[in-house]
Structure formats: C-alpha cells, structure tokens
Amino acid sequence: MSSHGKDTPMADHHLLKKTPVDLGRLSLSEWDELAEHLDIMPGILQRIRRAVFLQGIPSLSRMDDLPSDVRQKLAGKVILHDSRLKSLTRSSDGSLKLTLLLHDDHLAETVIIPERKEGSIKKCAVSISSQVGCFFGCSFCATGQMGFNRNLSTRELADQVRLAIRTAEEEKIAPVTHLYFMGMGEPMHNYRAVSDLITLIESGEAPGPDPSRITISTVGLYRQIGMLASDHPKVKLAVSIHSANQEKRKEIMPISARLPLADIRQAIARHQRLTGHRVTLQYLLLDGVNDSPDDAAALVRFIGNLNINITLIMYNDVAGCRVRRTDIEKMESFRNVLVRAGHPVDVRWCRGEDIFAGCGQLQVSASRKRTNMSIRSNATDRQPDAGS
C-alpha cells in the first residue's frame, strides 16, 4: 500500500478534520482512503473491518490482534458506536420484533420471520430497517408518519443482522436464510450504506446470507435500481407499485410525483436484462382505493411483457392512517384478473400484526425526535438521491 500520508500531516486529511471519526458510518472507499493515509496494510484493514462489522466490537480496544503501531495511529481519531438490544416482542404467529437502541437514543426495528410449511420451518427471514423514520410519507405507513430522522450507518445495518442471527439462534428458531431490506425507511434512499453492507457480506466481513438470498424493496427509485443491477447483480429486487395509475399512486405514495411510472418500468426492464432475475411487484390492496377490476387491468397494462412475480399484500390497518384493508372477495377478483393475464401471483398476509411488525406498521414511538422532514414538506420534482 502506498503511503502518501507519510508526507502529509495526519490531521490534514479531510476525513480527520473532525475527530473522532465514526468508523461504522464511513463508506468503504473512505475506509480505504483512511487506511492509505495512515499507512495501514490491507490485511490489517480487513481484520479491523471484520471486527467492526462481523463481530460487532464496541471499541477497538477489544481487538486483541491489532498491532500496537496501528492502535497508536488510530488512537483518538476513530470511534465505534454499537447498537443494543432494547426489547424483544413475540408474535402469536412466531415472528419476533427486535427493538435496537442506537447510540443517539434513536430506535430501529428488525423483524425475524420464520416461515413454516407442513409443520417445519422452511425459511427464516430477517427484515431490517434502513433509516430512522422515512422521508416519503406513504399514506398507509406508520414509519412515514414519523418523518425522516436520519440514515442508519453501515454498522447499524450490520448490527441488526448480527443481533437477529444471534436471537434466532438463542430462541432456537432456525438459521437465518434470507435478508430483506423491508423495515423502516426506504433502503434505496440510503443506498451507499446498504450497498456497502452487501459488499461486506459478499466478502465475509459482515454477517448475512448469500446475496442471492437478499431482497431490496423500493418505492421505485429508478436511478438506484440501475446502480443495484450493476453493483449487486445477485441481489433480488422488489418494487412497491401499489397502483399503476400515476395520479392514484401519487395519492397513495406522494413520492410518485417525482417517479414517473414509465421510468420505473424502464428501470425494472433493465434490471431484468442485466441480472436475469424476475422482479417482484408488490401491491398493497387498500379498500376502495386501488382494488377495483379497473385497477387490476391498469396493472396488467403496466406489466405488459415484463417477466415479473406479483405479490398482493393484505394490509395491517394502522392507527392514524385513513386507508383500510381490502376484503377477501375483492382481493380474489383482483387476483383473477392478473392470473387470467398469465402472471404468477402470491398473496401475502402481513406477519406480526399483533406486535406491530407487519407491513407499514413499524414505527418506534419511543424514537424521541420526530421531525417534519418528509416529502410532504419538500416539494420538488427531482428523484431523491441515494442519501449519504
């Protein structure tokens, strides 16, 4: 590794302007930059990253195998923040909700979802949060009601996965097989940290299943869909459509004003071309809002010749949201329109309803700092960027 840092006073580096630097929040390219500046060898850097993300050490002082010269170089310049398990809530359907206390008193929620078939668990998924609150304010979503507080760091994402794996083990549920970015927040709005976590999982430096068992759910941030296809072609994509009518979609999801359906469709087609995966379209059925046969026909027209899976989601009613769950008859006739058009359709009943862990229900009421930062208070027609 080169050592241009030897010619530069350490404090002069832009990453060290304000110390201590939170290692868990640095991007992977910043990790490399810092290591080069401090002249830390790649092997040692990898060891530090494994300790930080895979083992979740609370401080570098816990790293017994850190060479003393590197320890000295980092002393006072870097810090680690770990997340603590604050509570564990059990649902009658077997799901578990973990509430994590973050270093700044915010909370993040993670859900463990075991799936049984013929009496035994076939799959155990973990759904993690990517942000504290959410900027996008969807009409059906408890998280959206919180407004946006902040992005979770790569370390906070890894902490959720690690604590969920440990909990699933301790509770003797089953080994975690799948990872979903479907908790609080929009993962594509925190793309950098999400992408870095997947890179770390791929290299064995963070906990998590093989990337082919990771799914990212998005409201349709089409630029990031393009980035995901190039950066992580094994990762699966799920797009929350909820309506194939642009005006109606805007009512359900205000962010749609910046996300034309045509651009989302193009991004899905490109994702499919580059990765070879079937994209999943998620469609939350809301009573009298988007559940008519005309709505189903609009969805069929939107899909056209795309090779997709459709998941119809039966909503968990959320206090404070005016929308309600569709009844079963309407769901059946909606599904029939899609099936007649030749599309594979699953119906998902939200899990963990009794512990507020189901679709759109995650909202950490104890997260003290509510905010007015949401799309409803930020009118612009630009697609939101990938966050930082």
Sign of CA dihedral 260, 262, 267, 272: positive
Site for ligand SF4 in 206-225 (CB under 6 A): 219
- DSSP helix/strand/coil, 100: strand
Only segment of 131-139, 170-178, 294-302, 310-318 that touches ligand SF4 (CB under 6 A): 131-139
Tokens of residue 338, six digits: 């899609």
DSSP state of 254: G
User: In whole angstroms, what is the distance from residue 142 CA to residue 135 CA?
Assistant: 12
The nearer residue to ligand SF4, 56 or 360, going by C-beta atoms, is: 360
**Whether 316 contacts 360, CB under 8 Å:** yes
User: In whole angstroms, what is the distance from residue 188 CA to residue 183 CA?
Assistant: 12
Give me the least distance between CB of 140 and ligand SF4, in Å please: 7
Binds ligand SF4 by CB under 6 A, chosen from 54, 60, 141, 279: 141
353 contacts ligand SF4 (rule: CB under 6 A): no
Give me the least distance between CB of 28 and ligand SF4, in Å please: 25
Q: How many residues does the chain have?
A: 388
Only segment of 55-63, 137-145, 230-238, 299-307 that touches ligand SF4 (CB under 6 A): 137-145
Give me the least distance between CB of 219 and ligand SF4, in Å please: 5
134 contacts ligand SF4 (rule: CB under 6 A): yes
User: In whole angstroms, what is the distance from residue 257 CA to residue 284 CA?
Assistant: 19
**Whether 332 contacts 314, CB under 8 Å:** no
Site for ligand SF4 in 177-206 (CB under 6 A): 184-186
CB contact set of 344 (below 8 Å; sequence gap of 6+): 309, 310
107 contacts ligand SF4 (rule: CB under 6 A): no
254 contacts ligand SF4 (rule: CB under 6 A): no
Site for ligand SF4 in 356-375 (CB under 6 A): 360
How many chain residues bind ligand SF4 (CB under 6 A)?
12
DSSP string, 160-186: HHHHHHHHHHHTT-----EEEE-SSS-
Binds ligand SF4 by CB under 6 A, chosen from 24, 56, 114, 144: 144
Give me the least distance between CB of 279 and ligand SF4, in Å please: 17
137 contacts ligand SF4 (rule: CB under 6 A): yes
Residue 281, φ and ψ in degrees, nearest 5: -100, 125
User: In whole angstroms, what is the distance from residue 227 CA to residue 221 CA?
Assistant: 10
Catalytic residue numbers read: 109, 359
Secondary element (H or E) of residue 195:
helix 191-202
Give me the least distance between CB of 138 and ligand SF4, in Å please: 3
Only segment of 36-44, 85-93, 103-111, 135-143 that touches ligand SF4 (CB under 6 A): 135-143
User: In degrees to the nearest 10, what's the CA dihedral of 59, 84, 228, 42?
Assistant: 10
CA 305 to chain centre: 28
Give me the least distance between CB of 18 and ligand SF4, in Å please: 30
Only segment of 52-60, 140-148, 231-239, 295-303 that touches ligand SF4 (CB under 6 A): 140-148
CB contact set of 283 (below 8 Å; sequence gap of 6+): 240, 241, 242, 290, 299, 310, 311, 312, 313
The nearer residue to ligand SF4, 70 or 375, going by C-beta atoms, is: 375
Give me the least distance between CB of 26 and ligand SF4, in Å please: 25
| Residues at the interface with ligand SF4 (CB under 6 A) | 134, 136-138, 141, 143-144, 184-186, 219, 360
